[in-house]
Amino acid sequence: MPKIVAVATAVPEFKVDQTTVCEIVSDHFSGRLDELKRLLPIFSNAGITTRYFSRPMDWMVQPHTLEERNRTYIECATDLSAAAATKLIKQNKMSPEDFDYIIYVNTTGLSTPSIDARLINKLGLRRDIHRTPIWGLGCAGGAAGLAHAYRYLLGHPEGKVLLIATELCGLTFLADDFSRSNLVATALFSEGSAAVLLAGDQVDYEGMEIIGTKSTFYPDSLDVMGWNVVSEGLQVIFAQRIPDIVKEQAAKDIDDFLTTHSLSLKDISAYLFHPGGTKVLKAYETALDLNNNELALSWDILSEYGNISSVTVLFILERFMNQNRQRSNGYGLITALGPGFCSESMLIKV
């Protein structure tokens, strides 16, 4: 079976603690503070201690056009992606020419040529490498990227895939947007990049086997999560009912997925869930009858890095692999939610 061999991550240079972000936002919106005061506890209740951004906070709270934000995305995402990929290559004693296929995932910036094309030049990847840019899957994008790589490797068992996900969510903050959704996003979102090496079963690498994947689409839910594209940039859409959807749907969806592999939740020893926020994680714990420790990695990554959209689940995967190199039995479940509204899940052998 195809396998996940290694993960490497990178974060931008500006590290900010959550208290500082709250103070800066409070000051920025001081003229409307009476209206927003009831929403400020979002920052202290977000379960986040620190986050990382590609630009300093005083730049973030200034007004910018969509063109300015996007130009910043292309520059910073290319450099950050290259940093994560270079780290992955060095740690695994590889050459950039070893990869057959590159998949690039993001939802926070636009680029044509896409970032993967820029990385081929910057990293020195092969001229005949296959490539697929994936845009618009939001927080589900990292898990979906793993699934795309898995399906490619089923048909190319000798292949090696470089999956890169890079999100610069801070660039989507709109200085003049006083909506609840903008405040929630400002309290949650962060920036970072992850590079993943996946290989087919004919490649002599050790790794975690991918047993199967599942995509689930929820009809008539387009308004749950996404962007409105406005002249200033990308305006976030967040529905308050996301935790309710998890409580109502997660148990059945995951049970159905595991049943197709003759498994149940009692067979899962590792839960690698994208932490969309504290309410989402608590909804998973309720729906699946989990204790707080079973989602410890998700809580820890949320606290240390915030919500990096598609990238976050790959940060969780990296930490799990680093902490569990000697384990050789059991199953793990990767799950993330995204615009559509949809979920992406993957069953792995750990």
Q: Which residues does the annotation mark as catalytic?
A: 139
Per the CB < 8 A criterion, the answer to whether 237 and 325 are in contact is: no
Give me the amino acid identity at 350. Answer: V
Per the CB < 8 A criterion, the answer to whether 149 and 197 are in contact is: no
39 is written with which tokens?
């929403």
Report the distance separating Cα 102 and Cα 52, nearest Å: 25
Region of 75 please: left (phi>0), alpha (psi -120 to 50) or beta: alpha
Identify which of 242, 244, 238 has the alpha carbon closest to the alpha carbon of residue 226: 238
Q: Which residue has the tokens 């939610």?
A: 337
- How large is the C-alpha radius of gyration of the chain? 19
153 is written with which tokens?
């490797």
Query: From edge to edge, which strands make up the β-sheet containing 268-273?
Result: 130-135, 101-106, 160-168, 191-199, 3-10, 208-217, 342-349, 331-338, 268-273
Identify which of 316, 272, 307, 245 has the alpha carbon closest to the alpha carbon of residue 107: 307
How many CA within 13 A on the CB side of residue 76? 28
